[in-house]
Amino acid sequence: MTYREEFERDCGGWWGWESNAAGPRPLEWSAGQVTSRSPWWIDYNHAPPGAGYLHMLFCTYTRGPIAEYFAEVGGPHRLAQGEFTLDYREARVCLRLRGELHPQGAQLVMLVQGNYDGLTSAWVLTGRPFEVGPEWAESAVELTPDESQWTCMGARCDRQDYYGRVPLERVLADVNVDIMFILFPLTIAPMGPIEGDAHVLRPGKDYPVWRSQLPEGYVDLAAVEIDFA
């Protein structure tokens, strides 16, 4: 079973993220590609004691009514319409990419997320980043349930009732929330003194940060292919 999206008609159910308050934002689309461009929102949901901060570049829900709700942003969510399994164990994910990035230590990596008994668990394949260069090229990873290749994102101090750690094997066997391609990790440098704990406060919302320490650039995505095992 293979899912393939080449963005010929629309964004295929893929979107970016504006902020927690504003929700998803449309990607730039032209026939055959979508583009995600900086500045990107700083996702602080997994701030320490979680694994850290990230930028959300390309996202799609895998199942549920929320996918249809966001169809007005990203177009019909073809991955979420029920044809494809939620079992991502040993799946091969291939992206056709190009772009110009000043990554500032971040890498383009895949995030998978599922909800189990009310707890949402996010894992990032930090051991297998995707390559982004100025010319079109394909980059592929395999989603092997080897926790040494992954990072569990955990939760910031006030989101631990929502986010947490569920074993990777269970998450990959039932990716029932979403998948994303993200930039991680980020360096958060407050612009000037702040009052309070920088990780309790929310960077970019409660205090300004040096954008020069964050990734800049753009990424074009021409195809997503997922070969399910």
Question: Tens of pLDDT along 39-49?
Answer: 999 999 999 99
Q: Give pLDDT, residue 82.
A: 73
Q: What secondary structure does DSSP assign to 122-171, as a single string?
A: EEE-TTSPBP--SS-EEEEEE----GGG-EE----TT-TTTB----HHHH
**Cα–Cα dist 94/71, whole Å:** 23
**Cα–Cα dist 45/51, whole Å:** 10
Answer with the residue of higher pLDDT: 63 or 153. Answer: 153
Q: Which helix (H) or strand (E) holds 13?
A: none
- What lies within 8 Å, CB to CB, of 184 at 6+ separation is 52, 53, 54, 55, 106, 107, 109, 111, 124, 126, 151
Condensed to tens digits (0 to 9), the pLDDT of residues 118-153 reads 999 999 999 999 999 999 999 999 999 999 999 999
**Cα–Cα dist 22/214, whole Å:** 21
**Cα–Cα dist 198/194, whole Å:** 7
- Domain holding 43, by residue range, is 2-227
**pTM, two decimal places:** 0.94
Q: Give pLDDT, residue 74.
A: 67
What value does the mean pLDDT take over residues 195-208? 96
Condensed to tens digits (0 to 9), the pLDDT of residues 14-44 reads 999 988 888 888 999 999 999 999 999 999 9
Q: Which helix (H) or strand (E) holds 37?
A: strand 33-37
CA 43 → CA 83, 203, 217, 229, distances in Å? 30, 9, 18, 31
Q: What is the CA radius of gyration of the chain?
A: 17
**Cα–Cα dist 218/215, whole Å:** 9
Q: Give pLDDT, residue 21.
A: 81
**For the chain, what percent of residues have pLDDT higher than 70?**
95
Q: Give pLDDT, residue 71.
A: 62
State the total domains in the chain: 1
